[in-house]
Chain A
Amino acid sequence: MSGTWITTRAWLLMLPLLVVMTAVIGWPLIDTVRLSFTDAKLVGTEGTFVGLDNYVKVLGGSSFQRALVTTTWFAVVSVTAEMVIGVLAALLLNQQFRGRTALRALMILPWALPTVVNATLWRLIYNPEYGALNAALTQLGLIDSYRSWLGEPGSALTALIVADCWKNFPLVALIALAALQAVPRDITAASLVDGAGPLNRFRYVIMPYLAGPLLVALVLRTIEAFKVFDLIWVMTRGGPANSTRTLSILVYQEAFSFQRAGSGASLALIVTLLVTVLAVAYAGLVRKAAGAS
């Protein structure tokens, strides 16, 4: 009896939230699915039912395929670099030295900055006329003349990846640092007595403690990198020559710049599906890692 009463009360308490969630997430999602089967424009026409036409066009189109490759490259390279730099930074900040606390606080700064601020900052650094990067490289004698890092298809994506790494490696470092501090002092001491050098100590003794938390960081960062929009929008708007056009930029352009709501919706759903597949796969990995430890 009391179980039923508790269940009823629980549902009643959750009801306001459920109503809000349905209104702000459920309904738009359902409407997006409906839109994706129509040829609706953003303004003017309701659109007619076109079946799977939008999906066929999107999946078969070169724009989608190129954006998928760009997004995957962006996600893989930036997340890998963030993981490596983050772990190295954490190992460094876990050592005893003067000014360690100040440096730890300072490290969080890039991550704490709003993405738009970060992106604007890097646009200034990369500026082809007065950017700090050009000045530094010229003065070091590494380049002869100023270059437009964000204006050349060959370097724009790499420049974005660097900006993304700078912003996001502190998150990985923070998670890794917390994990490092959980490594029992006795275990490290035992490995010293056992004769493990720095590399073996990291591989056999420290890494098992880092693996779980790092996997969580990997999941979070990969999904975020796959969805990246704001950084690229502020810095390159997908250009030059679509060389930095990721899936999210493509969805935006399709739905809002070209005002094709129907095919924009189908693209958005495909991206959502891809991210969901990634999330589920990673969740499985995390569960497996948790089980193993």
Chain B
Amino acid sequence: MSALAIQNIHKRYGEVETLKGIDIDLESGEFLVLLGSSGCGKSTLLNIIAGLAEPTGGDIRIGERSILGAHPKDRDIAMVFQSYALYPNMSVARNIGFGLEMRKVPPAEREKAVKETAKLLQIENLLARKPSQLSGGQRQRVAIGRALVRNPQVFLFDEPLSNLDAKLRMEMRTELKRLHQMLKTTVVYVTHDQIEAMTLATRIAVMRDGRIEQLGTPEEIYDRPATLYVAGFVGSPPMNILDATVSKEQLLILGDDQPIDMPVHFRSVVADGQRVKVGIRPEALRVAKGGETGAQFKARIEVVELTGPELVTTARIGEQRITACLPPRSAVTAGEDRTFVVDVDVLHLFDPQSGRSLATD
């Protein structure tokens, strides 16, 4: 039995359909990340699970029962909001315990639960303060505490880290991971940040235009993107997508006269003369030093940016741009022609029309 089952959920606002049939089955203890850009429907789906919006069609089940039509308080869920949504007039302790107070949990029991949660989140010294006296990170901990204290079946997170600065976001990400590993809770987490998705999720649902583009583990999403959209969305810098033509079991990259070998697993699915999109992760590219095997192509280096741990190099193959993440001390300079090399096995092939991967699994 799944902990949370999202079955064929549709949502329509007048003429606009924001969710077009979403199906996800979540096992207990899973951390599902709904990943997508603004307007893809991920927050709408979260609000539907929470009971803050009603779907036009489909069903949501927590455990064995359908929760459609149930009041948010009766769904056995807790939610953490992007804006923290702390009650400004209440102390931290009361904010955390408010859900229990409304459920008429006796004060002594409530206080014990609040203290335990505060200890878990290392905010015991803040219990008497008001939200206005807290930093962004502290507020977020209180918001998480408010969800944790009720010990619900499913936790919902709506972009909880997007209001924090980069350093704090990383700290809180680790903290969330630690909490999930410790408490083994079932989580649905909405974000547009692919790093958050990759680091936190046990499974990621990449959403686009109200549909799930791909649902899989972070490794599957990264290593075997099902569509051009997923390939471009996950990974930073994003995957290079190059136009190419199939020619006698080889690939001719547009703008490069030297053909490269076709990955073995694609040979049976492409025809001679077929146009394809070739996907190459920037981190899979190396600068050729001579004697390497693999696909090689010449490119003119345009820009070199040192980020610290890597040298992000942008180069041109004819009219096509390509980005490579090279080791920081690589000897490349803007303006020179270099040969790049990549293992043939890590190449991705997509159909230019449908945008779908040509991989057959």
Contact = CB atoms under 8 A, between A and B. Distances in A.
Interface of A: 184, 186-187, 189-197, 200, 204-205, 208, 293
B51 A187 contact: no
Contact of A184 (B78, B85, B103): B85
B87 A189 contact: no
Please indicate which of the listed interface residues A191, A192, A195 has the most CB atoms of chain B within 10 Å of its own CB. Answer: A195
Query: Which secondary structure characterizes the binding site on chain A?
Result: helix
B207 to A, nearest CB: 21
A96 to B, nearest CB: 13
Nearest to B52: A189
A208 B98 CA distance: 15
B79 interface: yes
8 contacts: A186-B81, A189-B50, A189-B52, A189-B72, A190-B85, A192-B51, A192-B73, A196-B102
Interface in B82-99: 82-90, 98-99
A200 B102 CA distance: 8
Given A189-B50, A192-B72, A193-B79, A205 B102 contact: no
B77 A193 contact: yes
A195 B103 contact: yes
Contact of A186 (B85, B89, B102): B85
Contact of B81 (A190, A197, A204, A293): A190
B146 interface: yes
Interface residues of B, number: 25
Interface of B: 47, 50-52, 71-73, 77-79, 81-90, 98-99, 102-103, 146
Nearest to B87: A205
Contacts of B85: 184, 186-187, 189-190
Contact of B73 (A186, A194, A204, A293): A194
A190 B77 CA distance: 11
Contacts of B47: 189
A200 B73 CA distance: 13
A86 B249 CA distance: 78
Contact of B87 (A187, A192, A193): A187
Please indicate which of the listed interface residues B47, B83, B84, B85 has the most CB atoms of chain A within 10 Å of its own CB. Answer: B85
Given A189-B81, A195-B99, A195-B102, A208 B73 contact: no
Nearest to A190: B85
Given A184-B83, A204-B98, A193 B88 contact: no
Given A186-B85, A187-B86, 6 more contacts: A189-B47, A190-B85, A191-B87, A193-B77, A194-B73, A293-B88
Nearest to A197: B102
Contact of A193 (B82, B89, B99): B99
A141 to B, nearest CB: 42
Contacts of A190: 79, 81, 85-87, 146
Nearest to B104: A195
A200 to B, nearest CB: 6
A293 B89 contact: yes
A158 B90 CA distance: 40
A195 B73 contact: yes
B172 to A, nearest CB: 18
A189 B102 contact: no
